[in-house]
Every structure is written in structure tokens, then in C-alpha cells.
Amino acid sequence: MSITNTGEEVVRIFPSGRDLESYRIVVRDEDGNQIPEKDEEKRTESKRRNMIQSLEGKEIKEIILHKDEVFSKEIDLNSRFDLNPGKKYFVTAYFHPNVHEMPALFIRSRNQPYFFYEEKHNEPVLSSIPEKDPSVDGLEPEEVIHLFLGSEKKKNWVHHFKWIYFPEYVQSYDQYAEEYNRAEESERDFLLENFKRYLTESRAGILNSYRILNTESVSPGLAKVTVFVERRLNRLRAKYEYTYTLRKVPDEQGGFWKVSNLVAKVKK
């Protein structure tokens, strides 16, 4: 969960440290049913097993946010909700800026992310991106972008490269496009390996978060997805608006969407 000060004035918030007292998460399944939270005893036991508790600081802390500054909080949904493998879940978040003095005041999340909960190696695993076979399940362009960026965030480069149509995507990078276009067919595989190595270096910064803003169907075989992206380079954060072009690449199953182009804009 991230809270951003989009105004001009300084904002003060007072998040409580008592078992996410300032945060309320609502999870619904694909049928619209709300998933109840685990009871207090289960959550406390899970917390004892999995958390390193700090004895420093206070239960209530004042946080000051200047214009465009962001306060983020990670919440483990798996420890708070009983989730069934194989189902799709939607999340809505609520934040109370000052839960003790103004308990009725809250902010609702602007977007509603979703995730698939899957079972792997006989253990339930919570994944924020749907791990599905695109040729069988017919993923939409927006879902492909979730897979594409989600795998970058986890540094799963093999999976990340799976969603790229390299003959066109390399054209988005001037320092590689010219050499690739001049190269003989036999040399291009070698150049693409260098290009892949460059992508793994994350020179624009580590992917911190992303939010899909818009999806546009250009034609039956072409789509565009616009994404707000936040990256972190050393201790600095940078914001971008990415517009991905996706092309339906044909294969023996009929084809599936791959990322073929990127246009990036720096956001202030």
C-alpha cells in the first residue's frame, strides 16, 4: 500500500503500529464474495513464527509527506486471509491517517489490484501475478504486462524475456537498434544476448512499483498498455509513464501477446 501527497501543502499522517490498526484490507474472490480475515489467535501465532519484532520506537509515529512524496507499507495477505489455491482475488485498501483522533476519516485505494493464488510443490504460494500459459489460457495484454513487470520485480529474467518480441523490442533502444539492423542474420542472436544482459542491469533503477493506467486495442493483433512506474536508483526514486505496444505473435496454437515496443516519459 502506498500513500502519495499529490497536493501542494505538507501532509502529516499518524500510522499506528498496532497490528495494522491504521490499515484495512478488503479481499474479494472472483464471484464478489468478501474473504473474512483470520481470527486474532491465528494471526498472532503466524506473527510469532514469521516476524522479527522491534522494541524500538512508538506505537504511533508522525510521518510528514511533502508534495509527491510517498509512504509505503507492505502487508502480507497470506497471513491475514484464508485463501484457496486456483482462485483469483481482488484487493481494496483503506488507510486511516489518524485512526485514534479521527477514526471515521479514511482514504480508499484508487486502484483495485488482483492476484492469483496458486499451489506449487504442495505448498500454497501467494503470487501478485497470474502464472498461466498464455497459449492455453489466452491472456489479455494487461495480464501480460502484469507478468512482464512482475517477473522483472522478482528478477526472474528467464520469465521476463519470455514476454518480449525481441526483433521489434530492441528497436526501442537506440544504442542497440542501429547495430542490430546492420548485422547479418547470423550475428543477431549474439547481439540480442548482449541486449538481454543490458536489460538485467536495470540501469534506470530497480522496479519499486507499477500501476496500469490504460489499455487500448489498436487492432486485433496490436494493443497498447500505459503504466505508471516507480523505480529506485540508490536512494533516489524516479517516476515514469511507460507505454508498451504488444503484438500478437503467431505460433502453432494461434499466437499470444508479446511486448514489442516501449515509449518512456519521465514524470515529475
Residue with cell string 547481439: 191
From 21-30, 51-60, 207-216, the region with the lowest mean pLDDT: 51-60
pLDDT of residue 104 exceeding 60 = yes
pLDDT of residue 47 exceeding 50 = no
Q: How far is CA 235 from CA 34, 85, 242, in A?
A: 38, 37, 22
The residues, ordered by sequence, that sit 6+ positions from 72 with a Cβ below 8 Å of its Cβ are 1, 2, 3, 209
What is the model's pTM? 0.51
pLDDT in tens, 147-206: 999 999 999 999 999 999 999 999 999 889 988 998 888 889 999 999 999 999 988 899
The band of 58, judged by pLDDT with boundaries at 50, 70 and 90, is very low
Could you give the domains of the chain?
2-127 (2.60.40), 134-267 (3.10.450.50)
Share of the chain above pLDDT 90, in %: 33
Q: What are phi and psi of 170, to 5 degrees?
A: -65, -20
**Averaged pLDDT for residues 11-19:** 79
94 within 8 A of 107, measured Cβ to Cβ:
yes
Strand 63-65 vs strand 11-13: parallel, antiparallel, or unpaired? antiparallel
- The DSSP call for residue 179 is H
pLDDT of residue 255 exceeding 60 = yes
**Averaged pLDDT for residues 212-220:** 92
Among candidate residues 23, 14, 3, the one with its CA nearest the CA of residue 69: 3
pLDDT in tens, 109-153: 777 677 777 765 444 444 444 444 444 446 899 999 999 999 999
145 within 8 A of 223, measured Cβ to Cβ:
no
